[in-house]
Each structure stands twice: as structure tokens, then as C-alpha cells.
Amino acid sequence: MKDYMKIFEAELNAIVKPVLEDDFDDFELSQHGKELDADDEDKPGYKQANMYDQLGKVLDSAGNPNPVSTVKTDDGKEFKVSVDQARVIRMLMTTDKVKPMVRTQFQRDMQNGNSAADFFDIKDYHEIPQLFVKRYLG
């Protein structure tokens, strides 16, 4: 019985293996899924790292001997940011209380120095949501 199974397996492999090899010759599988390897930072349209990530670095480095305290917009403007400002602006970038289109527009606007300045110039972080509501929901 064992000999029969070996013969059957050999015959099956002789039939199946060439068919499988032939089918895969037409596909370039080494490149399959490569688009999934790209990070969000590599998206076209942003010259600098996206503002959400930059603000995250401000938050993550709080308490370090040399904390990150500035962010840079796509047009090269650099802003000093407090931890509280970073926390509130990141919250506004991800809140599910507004439509995704509004969040996306806010995220794009924060990459621009003129728009970002309006938010970073507010020293009392409690007032930042009021500007957001006025500008994007008003």
C-alpha cells in the first residue's frame, strides 16, 4: 500500500507542479503588495512630515532633557508649540465629532504656515477649539 501512495504522490506531483509553475510565470509576485509598504509620510502633497506626527513628537518628548518644542509647515515656517497646544490640536485632527471631510481639511490647513499660525498663536489652549468651531463649523 505504501508503494502505491508513493507512486500516486509522484504522479500527482508530476502533473501538478508543472501546472503551478507555469501559472506563476506570468505574474511578478515579488512586487505584489509593494504599495502597502509606503508610509503615510511619503504621501505626495506634504513637503514636511505631517503635522499630526510632528505634534506627536512634541508630546512624546515632553519631560526629556531636550524636548521637541517646534513644528515646521510645508512653506518653511517654524512654530513654537506647547505640550497643551499639541494635545488639543491633535485631538481636533482626530475627533469623530466632525465629518471626515472637515478633519481632512483641517489637517491640510495645518500644513500651511498662514493657517497654522492662527492656531499656534493662541497661547491659551482652551481657546483653540473655539477657533476651530468658528473656522470649520461656523
Q: Give domain status of residue 43, yes or no.
A: no
Q: Place 100 in a pLDDT band, splitting at 50, 70 and 90.
A: very high
Residues 75 and 133 in one domain: yes
Q: Are residues 102 and 52 in the same domain?
A: yes
Decide: pTM greater than 0.75.
no
83 in the same domain as 16: no
Whether residue 108 is contained in a domain is answered as yes
Per-residue model confidence as pLDDT tens digits over 1-14: 567 677 767 776 77
Domain assignment present for residue 112? The answer is yes
Is residue 29 pLDDT above 80, yes or no?
Answer: no
Exposed/middle/buried for residue 100 (C-beta within 10 Å: 0-12, 13-18, 19+):
exposed
Residues 16 and 74 occupy one common structural domain: no
How far apart are alpha carbons 94 and 97 in whole angstroms?
9
Return the DSSP state at 50: P
Average confidence (pLDDT) over 49-54: 93
Residues 7 and 58 in one domain: no
The verdict on 64 and 121 lying in the same domain is: yes
pLDDT, tens digit, 9 for 90 and up, residues 78-96: 999 999 999 999 999 999 9
User: For residue 118, what pLDDT is reported?
Assistant: 96
Q: Does residue 77 sit in the same domain as residue 24?
A: no
Kindly state the average pLDDT of the residues 108-118.
94
Under DSSP, is residue 69 helix (H, G, I), strand (E, B) or coil? coil
Domain range for 12 is 2-36
H or E stretch at 79: strand 78-80
Is residue 115 in some structural domain? Answer: yes
Residue 28 belongs to some domain of the structure: yes
Better-scored residue on pLDDT, 10 or 38? 10
Give the total number of structural domains in the chain. Answer: 2
* Residues 66 and 9 reside in one and the same domain: no
